[in-house]
Amino acid sequence: MNISPDPWVWIAALLSLAIFSFLYKENPFYRIAEHLFIGVANGYAVTFYWHNILMPTLFDPLFRQGKLLYIIPFIIGILYFTRFIPRISWLVRIPIGITIGYYVGVSVPATTQAFIIKQIQGTVLTSTNFQAWNAGSWGIVWSVIVFIGVLCSLSYFYFSKEHKGVLGVTSRIGIVFVMIGFGAAFGYTVMARISLLIGRLQFLLGDWLGIIQ
């Protein structure tokens, strides 16, 4: 056993144990670690935004380089704080409106391109898609399964008509594909969490206690 003399390793290890103690029940150690996490995370966010965004993007150009146009985003940003002055609190809607407007505007073509056009391109039955599987003649079968699966999955989410008759059959097939999709996502997520757990145990038993290499 070769215990680490580094005080930071001890702090990290004890905080990790404090979080793990939640498995037994909620306790003061867990709560301390939880509140410390939020405090430090926000402190880091302040540092990041100050050094990487506000200084180089706003204060340096405005106050050191004299680029007066930057006064506009500065004033718009300040409007966020009008929220605390009831008489002019409506002005907070201006920076929110600009931010929301731009991002939802960008999301329309970006979503259409990435999530609709590209996905349909990958689903339709074309010789290019058959060959993309690199599975010989099985490529046609896999493409047909994906094509039917996508149509049936979509029909499962179609709620404007009662799931009876043809729609009933397709939606029942659709739920099979949807559940396989959820199962695969669930399996991958569990494995990601397990690998994090292994990482923490390696840290505790290796870096901290020196029991394992």
Partner 1 sequence: MKRTFPLILVFIFGIIGIITFIIPHPIVQNLDESIRNDILKILVAFALVLGLGSLLKVHMDKIKRKRENWKYSWILIISFLVSSIIGLFGGVEGAGPLRTSIGSFHFDIQTLYENIFMPLGATMFALLAFYMASASYRAFRARSYEATLLLITAFIIMIGIIPLGEKISPHLPSFAQWIMTVPNVAGQRGILLGVALGIIATSLKIILGIERSWLGGGE
Range 192-211, binding partner 1 (CB under 8 A): 193-194, 196-197, 199-200, 203
Pick one of 7, 66, 136, 165: the residue that binds partner 1 (CB under 8 A): 7
Pick one of 3, 27, 39, 71: the residue that binds partner 1 (CB under 8 A): 39
Q: Does residue 27 touch partner 1 according to CB under 8 A? A: no
Range 121-160, binding partner 1 (CB under 8 A): 122-123, 133, 142, 145-154, 156-157
Q: Does residue 167 touch partner 1 according to CB under 8 A? A: no
Burial status of residue 171 (CB atoms within 10 A of its CB: 0-12, 13-18, 19 or more): buried
Smallest distance, partner 1 to C-beta of residue 12, A: 4
Smallest distance, partner 1 to C-beta of residue 150, A: 5
- Closer Cβ to partner 1, 134 or 213, answer by number: 134
Reduced to 3 states (helix: H, G, I; strand: E, B; else coil), residue 198 is helix
| Tokens 């870096």 belong to residue | 207
Q: Does residue 85 touch partner 1 according to CB under 8 A? A: no
The CA distance from 128 to 167, in Å, is 30
Smallest distance, partner 1 to C-beta of residue 164, A: 19
| Tokens 């999301």 belong to residue | 107
Q: Does residue 63 touch partner 1 according to CB under 8 A? A: no
The CA distance from 156 to 91, in Å, is 44
Percentage helix, strand, coil, to 5, in the chain?
Answer: 85, 0, 15
The secondary structure element, H or E, covering residue 133 is: none
The CA distance from 185 to 191, in Å, is 10
Smallest distance, partner 1 to C-beta of residue 165, A: 20
- Closer Cβ to partner 1, 142 or 209, answer by number: 142
Pick one of 3, 27, 32, 128: the residue that binds partner 1 (CB under 8 A): 32
Pick one of 109, 127, 128, 169: the residue that binds partner 1 (CB under 8 A): 109
The CA distance from 149 to 199, in Å, is 37
> In the structure encoding, which two tokens stand for residue 203, read together?
């840290």
- Closer Cβ to partner 1, 48 or 63, answer by number: 48
Give me Rg for the CA atoms of the chain: 27
